[in-house]
Amino acid sequence: MLRSIHITAGLFICVVFGCLTMGTSALAQSPQAKAGDPLPFLNSDQLERFFLGKEQFLRTFSEAEGLGPGFNQDSCASCHALPIGGTSPITVTRFGAADKGAPFDPLDAEGGSLLQANAISTECLEIVPANATIIADRITPSILGAGLIEAVDGADIVALQSNGGMVHWVPLLESPAAPLAVGRFGWKSQLATLMSFSGDATLMEMGITNSVLAAENAPNGDTTLLPICDSVADPEEPMDNGVPYLQRITDFQMFLAAPPQTPRSGMSGETIFTDIGCATCHHPEFTTGTSPEAGMSGVTFRPYSDFLLHDMGALGDGIAQGDALETEMKTPPLWGLRIRGQLLHDGRVLVQDLYQGINDAVNWHYGDAFPSQQAWNNLDKSEQDKVVAFLNSLGRREYDTDGNNFLNEADLPGFIDCWTGDAPGSFNADSPCALHDLDQDGDVDAFDLSGLEQVYEATPEDCDSNGTWDLVQILTQNGDSNGNGILDACEDPFFRRGDGNLDGAVDISDAISLLSALFGGVGLPECFDASDSNDDGAIDIGDAVFTLSFLFSSGTAMPAPGSETCGPDPTADGLDCGAAVSCP
**Strands 88-96 and 134-140, sheet pairing:** antiparallel
Query: Which among 316, 338, 314 is positioned nearest to 328, based on CA atoms?
Result: 316
Can you give the pLDDT at residue 118? 98
Can you give the pLDDT at residue 127? 97
- 8 Å CB contact between 112 and 119: no
Judged against a pLDDT cut of 80, whether residue 153 lies above it is answered with: yes
Can you give the pLDDT at residue 75? 98
Tens of pLDDT, residue by residue over 250-284, are 999 999 999 999 999 999 999 999 999 999 999 99
Can you give the pLDDT at residue 583? 72
Tens of pLDDT, residue by residue over 390-428, are 999 999 999 999 999 999 999 999 999 999 999 999 999
Please report, for the chain, the start and end positions of each structural domain, with discontinuous segments joined by +.
Answer: 16-20+398-490, 62-157+167-223, 259-392, 492-584
Give the rounded percent of residues in the chain with a pLDDT score beyond 70: 94
Give the Å distances, CA to CA, from 36 to 233, 255, 298, 331: 34, 10, 22, 22
Can you give the pLDDT at residue 579? 61
Q: Can you say how many angstroms the Cα of residue 469 is from the centroid of all Cα atoms in its chain?
A: 25
d(Cα 525, Cα 538) in Å, to the nearest integer? 13
Can you give the pLDDT at residue 19? 35
Judged against a pLDDT cut of 70, whether residue 47 lies above it is answered with: yes
Judged against a pLDDT cut of 60, whether residue 207 lies above it is answered with: yes
- 8 Å CB contact between 574 and 2: yes
Can you give the pLDDT at residue 273? 98
d(Cα 172, Cα 183) in Å, to the nearest integer? 9
Can you give the pLDDT at residue 584? 59
CATH topology of domain 492-584: Type 1 dockerin domain (1.10.1330)
Judged against a pLDDT cut of 50, whether residue 239 lies above it is answered with: yes
Provide the whole-model pTM: 0.84
Strand runs labelled E in 98-230: 118-119, 134-140, 169-170, 181-182
What is the rounded average pLDDT of the residues 24-53?
89
Can you give the pLDDT at residue 194? 98
Bridge partners (DSSP) listed for residue 118: 71
Q: How confident is the model at residue 23 (pLDDT cuts 50, 70, 90)?
A: very low
Can you give the pLDDT at residue 251? 98
Q: For domain 259-392, give its CATH number from 2.60.120.10, 1.20.1600.10, 1.10.760.10, 1.10.3720.10.
A: 1.10.760.10
Q: How confident is the model at residue 123 (pLDDT cuts 50, 70, 90)?
A: very high
